[in-house]
Amino acid sequence: MKPFTYQTMQARVRFDVDAATAVCEEVKDRRTLVLSTPFQASDAQALAKGLGARCAGLFTEAAMHTPVDVTERAVALFDELSADCVVAFGGGSATGLGKAIAYRRDCLQIAIPTTYAGSEVTPILGQTENGLKTTLRDARVLPDVVLYDPSLTLGLTVSMSVTSGLNAMAHAFEALYARDSNPVASHMALEGIKALQSALPVIAGNPQHREARTQALYGAWLCGTVLGSVGMSLHHKLAHALGGSFNLPHAETHAILLPHTMAYNAGAAELAEAAALFGGDLGSGLYGFAASLDAPLALGGYGFEKADIARAAKLATANPYWNPRPVTEQDIAILLSRAQSGAAPA
pLDDT in tens, 111-166: 999 999 889 999 999 999 988 889 899 999 999 999 999 999 999 999 999 999 99
Domain count, the chain: 2
Q: What is the pLDDT of residue 7?
A: 64
Confidence of residue 8 (pLDDT cuts 50, 70, 90): low
Residue 195 and residue 324 in one domain: yes
Residue 145 and residue 195 in one domain: no
Last residue of a domain, one of 126, 153, 180: 153
Residue 221 and residue 124 in one domain: no
Is residue 6 in some structural domain?
no
Distance CA 309, CA 286 (A): 23
Kindly report the CATH number assigned to the domain that includes residue 296. 1.20.1090.10
Residue 317 and residue 170 in one domain: yes
Q: What is the pLDDT of residue 324?
A: 96
Distance CA 145, CA 108 (A): 9
Tell which residue, 331, 87, 263, 250, has the closest CA to residue 271.
Answer: 263
Last residue of a domain, one of 112, 138, 153: 153
Tell which residue, 304, 113, 273, has the closest CA to residue 181.
Answer: 273
Can you name the residues that pair with 58 across neighbouring β-strands?
Answer: 34
Q: What is the pLDDT of residue 1?
A: 63
With contact defined as beta carbons under 8 Å apart, do 95 and 142 qualify?
Answer: no
Tell which residue, 159, 174, 180, has the closest CA to residue 257.
Answer: 174
Q: What is the pLDDT of residue 346?
A: 87
Q: What is the pLDDT of residue 57?
A: 98
Element of type H or E holding 73: helix 68-80
Is residue 4 in some structural domain?
no
Last residue of a domain, one of 153, 186, 213: 153
Q: How would you classify the pairing of strands 132-137 and 124-129?
A: antiparallel
Residue 29 and residue 145 in one domain: yes
Confidence of residue 193 (pLDDT cuts 50, 70, 90): very high
Residue 84 C-beta-side C-alpha neighbours within 13 Å: 7
Is residue 5 in some structural domain?
no
Q: Which domain holds residue 201?
A: 158-341
Q: What is the pLDDT of residue 10?
A: 76
228: helix, coil or strand?
helix
Kindly state the average pLDDT of the residues 23-42. 96
Q: What is the pLDDT of residue 228?
A: 85
Kindly report the CATH number assigned to the domain that includes residue 133. 3.40.50.1970
Residue type, 106: D
Of 183-187, 226-230, 246-250, 305-309, which gets the smallest average pLDDT? 226-230
pLDDT in tens, 48-61: 999 999 999 999 99
Q: What is the pLDDT of residue 6?
A: 63
* C-alpha radius of gyration, the chain, whole number: 19
CA dihedral (120, 4, 185, 126) positive or negative: positive
Residue 231 and residue 266 in one domain: yes
Q: What is the pLDDT of residue 116?
A: 96
Report whether pLDDT(4) > 80.
no
Tell which residue, 126, 124, 94, has the closest CA to residue 110.
Answer: 94
CA 174 to chain CA centroid, Å, is 13
Residue 184 and residue 285 in one domain: yes
pLDDT in tens, 205-254: 999 999 999 999 999 999 999 988 899 999 999 998 999 899 999 999 99
DSSP one-letter code for 38: G
